[in-house]
Amino acid sequence: MMLVNKIRVKESRLKKDQCDLARFGREENGGLMRPALSAVDREARRWFKDRMREAGLHVREDEAANLIGRLNPTQGPSDEPCVATGSHIDAVPHGGKFDGALGICAGLEVIRAIQESGIPIPCPIELLVFTDEEGGHFAGTFGSRAMFNLLSEGEIHRSKSDGQPSLAEDLRRAGKDPKLISQAVRSPAEFRAFLELHIEQGPLLDTMGVPVGIVEGIVGIDRYFIQVKGRPGHAGTIPMHLRDDALVKAARIITAVNDALLAAGSDIVGTIGEMKVYPGAFNIIPGIVDMYLDLRSRNESARLSMRNILQKIIDSVENARIELILSKPGVTMNPTIMQAIMESCEEQGTPFQRIFSGAGHDAMTFATLGIPTGMIFIPCLEGKSHCPEEDIHFEDAAVGTQILADTMMRIAASSL
Ligand code: GLV
Ligand code: MN
Ligand code: MN
């Protein structure tokens, strides 16, 4: 117990890191534009890598551009399985500055607090910064899936739309060789546990005024590509009854999917939030529409049974097709890790609430592989996330980071 108590994270340092990191990609309205592997993302990573080194981590970058910082025990073997924490540095378009970024800044502060405490760590500790969690290039959680050989065939060569670089192209720009991507693969046995701190991205903790959420599980997520083809032509000369407008057909699909989800009567949610219209001019009848559907539910059978319904909707529209590009099963967090987080909260007198995550995280990848995994949520104001208004109270972030530090040390000292 003494071991845990001596580690003290500092809110001022955490806040400074978070604010410094938020300069990379900052927008006028307070939002953030930091797509994975963009020039500004690469700058942010260089900055963060320097901070990791300053904190005493041995830092390397794998072929998927994940940053891996390691602290080896001063005594004893350094090839024992590690206790790891981490999150992502990329952001959704015009998103907020805490999603992902807070988790890596919290991990960095934990490392500093451990170093300052002088307490010898019983096993290696790692801080991981994952590439393209948000799916800017393909379907998300790229870095963690690359780390465990879970990429789908050819995904690094796919481009989301005309003119948008594939992961392979952007990895090359970041100095990586996409042909060597398999060198990023590690064995789950290298990890004793993985913990991720994240903002809740929903309103529950903020509404309840509780600073820490102990995550019980994460929803399953299916991501689909839908393509609708029509006949392009002149917007002024072709009468309405002779048109085959791809966007009009896409609109029918969107409405039908929405109706089917409403009728499903479970917790299932679905969003078509990304669409490209080709050729894409006001005076051309749309010839092709490409769009992405994101489908989530805690209930595995609700998510799976939507597959047939979706296929029927697509089959009812001429020249439309649907492709499931990634399916991430829902996961539950490890009970021993949840217990360790709870004990850390109790020891600090920190109120907590068990909570389920409707957002996806790299922690899913670890949990899927059977690596003992846990997540700590902190409130975000009014539950706003994936938007420029995303905000937090730094006191909550410091409390959550303290719980992260205590839990990591608790697990490191345990026989898990
Ligand atoms: C990531 O934020 C996701 O839930 O898609
Ligand atoms: Mn996100
Ligand atoms: Mn995130």
Name the CA radius of gyration of the chain, rounded.
22
pLDDT tens for residues 273-284?
A: 999 999 999 999
pLDDT above 90 for 397: yes
Rounded to whole angstroms, how far apart are CA atoms 53 and 2?
A: 28
pLDDT, position 161: 85
Mean pLDDT of 198-220: 98
Lowest mean pLDDT among 73-77, 183-187, 359-363: 73-77
Give residue 416's pLDDT.
82
pLDDT for 1 equals 45
Residue linked to tokens 């592989």: 369
**Percent of the chain's residues with pLDDT above 90:** 94
Is pLDDT of 3 > 80? no
The three-state (H, E, C) secondary structure of 289-354, written as one string: EEEEEEEEECCHHHHHHHHHHHHHHHHCCCCEEEEEEEEECCEECCHHHHHHHHHHHHHHCCCEEE
Does 259 score more than 60 pLDDT?
yes
2 has pLDDT over 70: no
Q: Is the CB of 359 under 6 A from ligand 1?
A: yes
Q: Which atom of ligand 1 is nearest to the CA of 360?
A: 4
pLDDT at position 30 over 80? yes
User: pLDDT-derived band of residue 23, with 50, 70 and 90 as boundaries?
Assistant: very high
Could you tell me which residues come within 8 angstroms of residue 101 by beta carbon, excluding any fewer than 6 positions away?
A: 18, 21, 22, 87, 89, 91
Ligand 2 center–CA 51 separation, angstroms? 23
Q: Is 96 in the pocket of ligand 1 (CB under 6 A)?
A: no
Residue whose CA lies nearest to ligand 1 atom number 3? 360
The answer on pLDDT for 5 being more than 70 is: no
Nearest CA to ligand 1 atom 5: 360
Residue 79, judged by CB atoms within 10 A of its CB (0-12, 13-18, 19+), counts as exposed
How many C-beta neighbours within 10 Å does residue 323 have? 10
Confidence tier at 219 by pLDDT (50, 70, 90): very high
Residue 135 Cα: closest atom of ligand 1:
5
Ion ligand 3: protein residues whose beta carbon lies under 5 Å = 99-100
Residue 4 has pLDDT above 70, yes or no: no
Residue 204, pLDDT above cutoff 60 = yes
Please report which confidence band the pLDDT of residue 266 belongs to, taking 50, 70 and 90 as the band edges.
confident
What's this model's pTM, rounded to 2 decimal places?
Answer: 0.96
State what percent of residues in the chain have pLDDT above 70.
99
Output the pLDDT for position 75. Answer: 81
Pocket-testing residue among 326, 361, 365, ligand 1, by greatest number of atoms within 8 A of Cβ? 361
pLDDT tens figures, 103-155: 999 999 999 999 999 999 999 999 999 999 999 998 899 999 999 999 999 99
Mean pLDDT of the chain: 96
Q: What is the pLDDT of residue 202?
A: 97
Q: Which two tokens stand for residue 9?
A: 């994270």
What residue type is 404 in one-letter code? L
Longest pairwise C-alpha distance within the chain:
80
CB of residue 360 inside a 6 A radius of ligand 1: yes
pLDDT digits (tens, 9 = 90+) for 234-257: 999 999 999 999 999 999 999 999
Which tens digits make up the pLDDT trace of 74-93? 887 888 999 999 999 999 99
Counting ligand 1 atoms within 8 A of each CB, the residue from 99, 134, 145, 295 with the most, and so the one to mutate, is: 134
pLDDT at 77: 80
Q: Tell which one of 34, 133, 219 to mutate to probe ligand 1, the residue whose CB is within 8 A of the most ligand atoms.
A: 133
Is there an atom of ligand 1 within 6 Å of 95 CB? no
Tell me the mean pLDDT in the region 56-65: 98
